[in-house]
Amino acid sequence: MQLEGSCHCGAVRFSLDSAQPYPYQRCYCSICRKTQGGGGYAINLGGDARSLQVSGRESISVYHARIEQPDGSIQTSSGERHFCRGCGSGLWLYDPQWPELIHPFASAIDTDLPVPPEHTHLMLGSKAGWVEVQLAPADQQFDGYPQESLAEWHGRLGLAGDKK
């Protein structure tokens, strides 16, 4: 599925191909919550990094999250959270550990996305106390990261490559 996205002020527009376009995975970690999650979580999609086309690249800044380790030291994430420096809209996450992938934030996508048949709620161990998790009967919950990847979730439900 071809995804089109943009920032709020329109300075940045982008497109990419996605075989995992269902916005099913809700991440409650502090990084996602604070950089993207107005409702206490963020939703990332999967996309093909080779297909990413961007206009307005000069308006993009990158943030590398700082992650506190159990011993109190701080590690800088290799993940690059791209956002518009004009309006602050989050656009996508890229991590050189997985160079073939781009994870656009569902909130930046302008294309109508398909409605997922179930949701995966992850990083609930980091959820803010004020967040009420809205669960449907088929939803899955994880204190950390699930074993199932974006591609595996789409495949299990027969949605891989689905156009909607």
- How does DSSP classify residue 35? H
Compute how many other C-beta atoms are within 10 angstroms of the C-beta atom of residue 33.
20
Residue 25 has φ and ψ, to the nearest 5°, of -100, 115
Q: In sequence order, what are the beta bridge partners of 101?
A: 48
Residue 161, pLDDT score: 58
Residue 62, pLDDT score: 97
Residue 164, pLDDT score: 44
Q: How many residues does the chain have?
A: 164
For β-strands 13-17 and 2-6, DSSP reports them as antiparallel
Distances (CA, A) of 122 to 7, 17, 33, 52, 159: 26, 25, 12, 26, 20
Q: In what order do the strands lie in the sheet with 53-55?
A: 2-6, 13-17, 53-55
Residue 19, pLDDT score: 92
Contact 124, 141 (CB under 8 A): yes
Alpha-carbon gap, residue 55 to 33, rounded angstroms: 27
CA-nearest of 101, 100, 106 to 119 is 106
Contact 25, 41 (CB under 8 A): no
Average pLDDT across each block of 10 residues of the chain; the chain has 164 residues. List them in order. Answer: 97 96 92 83 93 98 91 92 96 95 95 96 94 94 94 90 50
Q: In sequence order, what are the beta bridge partners of 141?
A: 121
Residue 48, pLDDT score: 97
